[in-house]
Amino acid sequence: GENVEQHPSTLSVQEGDSAVIKCTYSDSASNYFPWYKQELGKGPQLIIDIRSNVGEKKDQRIAVTLNKTAKHFSLHITETQPEDSAVYFCAATRGNYGQNFVFGPGTRLSVLP
Amino acid sequence: DGGITQSPKYLFRKEGQNVTLSCEQNLNHDAMYWYRQDPGQGLRLIYYSQIVNDFQKGDIAEGYSVSREKKESFPLTVTSAQKNPTAFYLCASRRARGGAANNEQFFGPGTRLTVL
């Protein structure tokens, strides 16, 4: 079935450095790729997303890149801050109309002061 | 958490009992979802509903049941048939029934269920 792999599972960076999280998906019909940030004990919050007709999208310190041919997409966080520490999930749509997501297993990011 | 409420935040149940988790949204969204989250794993889809009075099984529906009698409500029942129910349960909603234009899912704050 459809699958989304995510690496690394844990990532520690120094404050001010960049962080990169990578995901690979299996369903060639996937056309929407969101990234969620989840803080401890809370529900996930969307931080950025990208559609299959776009190769890159940026929102301040956060950017996402998509390579449809290789079926992978990446989250880039620059100038990391301690409040960026959280678990990040990538996802890809599945289903005839993209009504469902398949989620990656998550990356725990720690930004060290 | 954007207009989606889940209650209670913490729930304890004795083994062999059914328990119902509440999810309400005031976003006027058509689609609603239930996910289960276990430590070190991504979110796994239990059930979803794209319209009132209709719902479909997700990847791990066994031992769970849902209803969708109202657009704003999508309660999840964890039955005694669910062998390992202790987990964090998340509800989500989406604006449109289908189409790529409205893919974004909004999540509630979650309910942590513990079976004693």
* Closest alpha carbon within chain B to A1: B59
- Percentage above 70 pLDDT, chain A: 96
Q: Is the pLDDT of residue B99 over 70?
A: no
What residues of B are in contact with residue A9 (Cβ under 8 Å)? 40
d(CA B60, CA B113): 16
What residues of B are in contact with residue A45 (Cβ under 8 Å)? 107
- Token pair of B53 as six digits: 């009075």
pLDDT of residue B59: 92
A31 touches chain B (CB under 8 A): yes
**Three-state DSSP class for B88?**
strand
Angstrom distances, CA of residue A65 to CA of A61, A70, B7, B102: 13, 12, 37, 20
d(CA A29, CA A76): 24
Mean pLDDT of A8-27: 97
Cβ of A89 within 8 Å of Cβ of B99? The answer is no
What residues of A are in contact with residue B94 (Cβ under 8 Å)? 99
Residues A53-104 pLDDT 10s: 889 999 999 999 999 999 999 999 999 999 999 999 999 998 666 678 999 9
Q: Is the pLDDT of residue B54 over 60?
A: yes
What confidence category does residue B1 fall into, taking pLDDT thresholds of 50, 70 and 90?
Answer: very low
What confidence category does residue B83 fall into, taking pLDDT thresholds of 50, 70 and 90?
Answer: confident
